């Protein structure tokens, strides 16, 4: 029989795996459903501006939260790193990962929008912001929610890119 601590670790891994699996289901819904609506044409420049706005607003919230934490904390007001595992450290990790994800989106979503339609990029942008907020909350509250938030913001980019390449290649 596994040691009790080991059982808990396996249980957490299973919960994280479930969160990631649900994030993949979310991704297919985010990418597939808008395609069924037959939306009107949306110019790619309008789609990209509108699609990236929600992610930019999440970045704004994260940066503002970190600035607020630093302003009211004598230990970090001068720009010193946050204590490992602290709320500020967690928020900094979320910000870093969100910047990485948004940069990936900025590199790939223009091709997705050009190939699959601008409306999809707008939907992906809204879904991205919701998923990033869930990732942020999950980082503070629950590993499965964190896993879902990560997967739900990363997998739509992957699924859309694979779909766009397939459409483009045919």
Which pair of tokens denotes residue 125? Answer: 């942008």
Alpha carbons 69 and 88: distance in angstroms, whole number: 7
Percent of the chain residues past pLDDT 70, beyond the cut: 94
Average pLDDT over residues 62-71: 96
Q: Say which residues have a Cβ less than 8 Å from residue 19's Cβ, sequence separation at least 6.
A: 138, 143, 144, 145, 146, 147, 148, 151
Candidates 123, 93, 117, 113; CA nearest to 33 is 123
Contacts of 72 (CB under 8 A, 6+ apart): none
- Express as a percent the part of the chain with pLDDT over 90: 81
Q: Classify domain 14-169 at the CATH class level.
A: mainly alpha
Residue 80: the pLDDT is: 86
- Is the confidence at residue 3, as pLDDT, over 80? no
Q: Taking residues 4-17, what's their average pLDDT?
A: 72
Of the candidates 140, 60, 44, the residue with the CA atom closest to the CA atom of residue 99: 60
- Render pLDDT for 96-129 as a digit per residue (tens, 0 to 9): 999 999 999 999 999 999 999 999 999 999 999 9
Residue 71: Cβ within 10 Å count: 9
Q: Where are the domains of the chain?
A: 14-169
């Amino acid at each position: 029989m596994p040691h009790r601590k080991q059982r808990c670790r396996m249980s957490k891994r299973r919960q994280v795996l479930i969160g990631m699996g649900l994030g993949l289901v979310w991704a297919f819904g985010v990418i597939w459903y808008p395609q069924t609506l037959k939306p009107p044409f949306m110019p790619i420049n309008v789609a990209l501006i509108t699609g990236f706005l929600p992610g930019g607003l999440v970045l704004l919230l994260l940066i503002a939260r970190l600035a607020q934490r630093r302003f009211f904390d004598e230990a970090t007001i001068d720009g010193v790193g946050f204590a490992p595992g602290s709320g500020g450290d967690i928020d900094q990790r979320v910000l870093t990962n969100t910047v990485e994800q948004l940069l990936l989106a900025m590199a790939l979503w223009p091709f997705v929008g050009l190939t699959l339609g601008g409306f999809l990029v707008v939907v992906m942008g809204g879904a991205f912001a919701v998923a990033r907020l869930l990732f942020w909350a999950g980082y503070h509250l629950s590993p499965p929610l964190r896993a879902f938030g990560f997967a739900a913001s990363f997998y739509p980019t992957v699924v859309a890119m694979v779909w766009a390449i397939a459409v483009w290649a045919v």
